[in-house]
Amino acid sequence: MKVIVEIPDNEATFGMKVLKSLTFIKKAKPMSDSAAKLWDELKEAAEQVRLHKQGKIKLKTAQDLLDEL
């Protein structure tokens, strides 16, 4: 299982030491702000696709997106 933990910048060094000291943690590495933003956007997009497949929302077609340009 993967878990994202948000730690304030002023506590990041200590937080990483704690995580790495736990024997059951396989890997702990910092994520840049841009990578975290991308991750959130990808999760949101995946959720929209899931809702669309369930018929709960309607997504724009590729043609609709091109027409907006």
Q: What is the DSSP letter of 7?
A: -
Domain edges within the chain: 1-30, 32-69
Q: What is the pLDDT of residue 12?
A: 93
The whole-model pTM stands at 0.64
Burial 21-43 (b: 16+ CB within 10 A, else e): eeeeeeeeeeeeeeeeeeeeeee
Give pLDDT tens digits for 13-46.
999 999 999 999 999 999 998 999 999 999 999 9
Q: What is the pLDDT of residue 2?
A: 87
Tell me the longest C-alpha to C-alpha distance in the chain.
54
